[in-house]
Amino acid sequence: MADLAQPATRAVALGRKEQGGMLGISRGSRYTAHAILIIGLLIVAFPIYYTFVASTHSLQTILRPPLPLLPGGRFWENYTTALFGGIGRIGGVDVSTLLFNTTVVALAIAIGKIVISILSAFAIVFFRFPLRMFFFWVIFVTLMLPVEVRILPTYKVMVDLGLIDTYTGLTLPLMASATATLLFRQFFLTIPGELVEAARVDGAGPWRFFKDILLPLSKTNIAALFVILFIYGWTQYLWPLLVTNRNDMNTIVIALRKMISFADADTQWHLVMVTCVLAILPPILVVVLMQRWFVKGLVETEK
């Protein structure tokens, strides 16, 4: 019966689509909707396109408006200079160093946060230990104390520990995260108690349960969190600004800021634009590559 019914339903669905799609929206309003979407897309995309265009022209062309709307011929030259030649205003450091720094920082923050928070959520949800709720609330309260609020004491600690201008100093204070812990806690709470008990009957100890059941079930959550945290780490501004003095320890966002002078003539705009484009690329890549997982993590849980 079901097999017979299926083609018929599909035919009905197709028929409706031809008449103007689901929900009975008319053709005209569909075009309008698309037009609005396209206009919105252009408004968002144009500055990025323009940045790219600017990154392929010489400084002279940029400084003499209007800037052409089409890419120029200095793509290769500008990009190699920026990536490997060193940029004067930031002490001759090249952009590839900056990219490397920022990648290390963003990855360390994302991975560190995920590891710490998934483990603490695991402890809080699945174990009964003294002061469990106390610890939960201690983690929870740190939500109200973001880096900016505790920045002076944190800075003092970093100086005392000699962690200025190190990757540890750049990432450690940003790692402990109440948000991610809460997210994992909420997810773990939705895991049916019977599943935990089935694992116990099947002879899985806490570590096996974590590795064989909890981690695979959390992978979409982890992926979504990774995307969010990678971008969070990539775009950090205030903390890297404070904790780095040496130019070769800067992240790309800080360097970008340093590359811009008040006087237009001092600023190598073409290199600034190249750096901008390069700064945007990795987060875009992460989002594009992990989009499927990211959406899955936000929408569904495999249960």
Partner 1 sequence: MATVELKDVRKVYAGRVEAVKGVSISIPDGAMCVLVGPSGCGKSTLLRMIAGLEEITEGTVSIGGEVVNTRGPAERDIAMVFQNYALYPHMKVYDNMAYGLRNRGMDKAEIDRRVREAAATLGLADFLERKPRELSGGQRQRVAMGRAIVRSPKAFLFDEPLSNLDAKLRGQMRIEIKNLQKSLGVTSVYVTHDQVEAMTLADTLVVMNQGRAEQIDTPLAVYERPASIFVAGFIGSPAMNLLPAKGTQNGLALAAGGTVNPKETALPAPGRDVLLGIRPEHMTLVNDATAADLELKVTAVETLGADTLAHGYPLSSNGRSEPLIARLPGSVRVKDGDVLPLAVQPGMAHIFDAATGLRI
Interface contacts to partner 1, rule CB under 8 A: 192, 194-195, 197-204, 208, 212-213, 216-217, 302-303
Dihedrals φ, ψ of 263, to 5°? -85, 130
Give me the DSSP letters along the chain: -HHHHHHHHHHHHHHHHHTT-GGG--HHHHHHHHHHHHHHHHHHHHHHHHHHHHTTS-HHHHHSSSPPSS--S-HHHHHHIIIII-BGGGTTB-HHHHHHHHHHHHHHHHHHHHHHHHHHHHHHHH---TTHHHHHHHHHHGGG--TTTTHHHHHHHHHHTT-TTSHHHHHHHHH--HHHHHHHHHHHHTS-HHHHHHHHHTT--HHHIIIIIIHHHHHHHHHHHHHHHHHHHHT--HHHHHH--SGGG--HHHHHHHH--SSGGGS-HHHHHHHHHHHHHHHHHHHHHHHHHHHHHHH----
CB of 117 to partner 1, least distance (A): 21
CB of 280 to partner 1, least distance (A): 35
CB of 208 to partner 1, least distance (A): 6
Q: Which is nearer to partner 1, 206 or 282 (CB)?
A: 206
Q: Which is nearer to partner 1, 213 or 242 (CB)?
A: 213
Q: Which is nearer to partner 1, 63 or 204 (CB)?
A: 204
Is residue 276 within 8 A of residue 48, CB to CB? The reply is no
Q: Which is nearer to partner 1, 204 or 280 (CB)?
A: 204
Q: Which is nearer to partner 1, 78 or 218 (CB)?
A: 218
CB of 216 to partner 1, least distance (A): 4
Q: Which is nearer to partner 1, 197 or 266 (CB)?
A: 197
Q: What is the sign, positive or negative, of the torsion defined by CA atoms of 243, 245, 249, 253?
A: positive
CB of 274 to partner 1, least distance (A): 44
CB of 213 to partner 1, least distance (A): 6
Q: Which is nearer to partner 1, 217 or 280 (CB)?
A: 217
Q: Which is nearer to partner 1, 200 or 257 (CB)?
A: 200
* Two tokens, residue 266: 């001092």
CB of 198 to partner 1, least distance (A): 4
* Two tokens, residue 3: 């097999």
CB of 171 to partner 1, least distance (A): 31
* Two tokens, residue 202: 């099947």
